[in-house]
Amino acid sequence: MRNLLVHADDSPAMAARLESALAIGRRHRSHITLLVSSPFQQFVASDPFGGMYLAREALAKSQLAATELVERLSEQMRGEDVPWDISVGDGELVGTLAIAATLADLVIVSLGASGGKRTGASQMMAGDLAMMVPAPVLALPETQDVVDLDTPAMVAWNGSLEAANALRQAVPLLRDSSSVVLVTVGADEGRIDAEDALRYLSRHGIHAILRAEERRGVTVEEALERTARDLGAGLIVMGAFGHSRLRETFFGGVTRYLLDAAHTPLLLAH
């Protein structure tokens, strides 16, 4: 993972994104790109007669805030031991990140606060990016200090092509984990057997184990969340598929549920 892309803003969650990028970057000798979004379109308004006008004062304030953020981040990054650059985009946030992620190996964003319902914006940004970009998306709960690369990792496995793609893209991070557990819940209805996934990982020097969970009166997503807690997982790897805005998701709602409620960083790939 030599090219890391980080959504950069002035929110409290930025610290966790940046520290996680630095932790990964140091281990994988990565270059970190911080992307600041200052969308021009949001300052174009219309009047009741169909005319368009530019809210110049608001635009100027936004541009000043972006400039100040770039200066603060630059000052902070000058003291770090990884290569970096800062980019400013004037388009809509998700689209700007998606374009920048075309040649990235990992995209790092935030999910919002855990332990309660997240805002639709934070939840859907992570989900939409996972659907749009070729790189895996690392989505951090807002309360996460930094992703812990040395803890156990859990792979949510249902035998789908999406799950296999997520597994393959997660290999560089899984190598750092103290243990890797493939977790199935109920019947495996996918086309790719879990044993094949274990063999694939073993050829990368990752000796994972398979853990088959029963639902025991709960939903699949609740069973996965319970298992992640039991394992002390510091990362959940999962595939995602569906329509725009994540209206349909793998495991019939698992991705959407974890985007909304997970206490653990998620590595998502389509």
Residue ranges per structural domain of the chain: 3-141, 153-269
Confidence of residue 253 (pLDDT cuts 50, 70, 90): confident
Buried b (16+ CB within 10 A) or exposed e, 84-110: bebebbeeebbebbbebbeebbbbbbb
Looking at the DSSP bridge assignments, the partners of residue 6 are 34, 108
Q: Evaluate whether 153 touches 208 at the Cβ level (below 8 Å).
A: no
CA-to-CA distance for 209 and 48, rounded, in angstroms? 62
CA-to-CA distance for 15 and 21, rounded, in angstroms? 10
Q: Which superfamily does 3-141 belong to?
A: HUPs (3.40.50.620)
| Helix and strand element counts for the chain (H, E) | 8, 12
CA-to-CA distance for 46 and 54, rounded, in angstroms? 9
Q: What is the mean pLDDT of residues 223-240?
A: 94
Q: Evaluate whether 149 touches 178 at the Cβ level (below 8 Å).
A: no
Confidence of residue 43 (pLDDT cuts 50, 70, 90): very low
pLDDT recorded at residue 105: 98
Confidence of residue 216 (pLDDT cuts 50, 70, 90): confident
- What interhelical angle do 93-100 and 120-132 show, nearest 10? 30
Q: What is the mean pLDDT of residues 226-246?
A: 81
pLDDT recorded at residue 242: 52
252 pLDDT exceeds 70?
Answer: no
154 pLDDT exceeds 50?
Answer: yes
Confidence of residue 120 (pLDDT cuts 50, 70, 90): very low
What pLDDT digit, counting tens, does each position of 60-115 carry? 777 788 899 999 999 999 999 999 999 998 888 899 999 999 999 999 999 865 44
Which CATH class name applies to 153-269? alpha beta
Q: Evaluate whether 17 touches 108 at the Cβ level (below 8 Å).
A: yes
Confidence of residue 140 (pLDDT cuts 50, 70, 90): very high
Identify which has the larger pLDDT, 15 or 253: 15
CA-to-CA distance for 233 and 225, rounded, in angstroms? 10
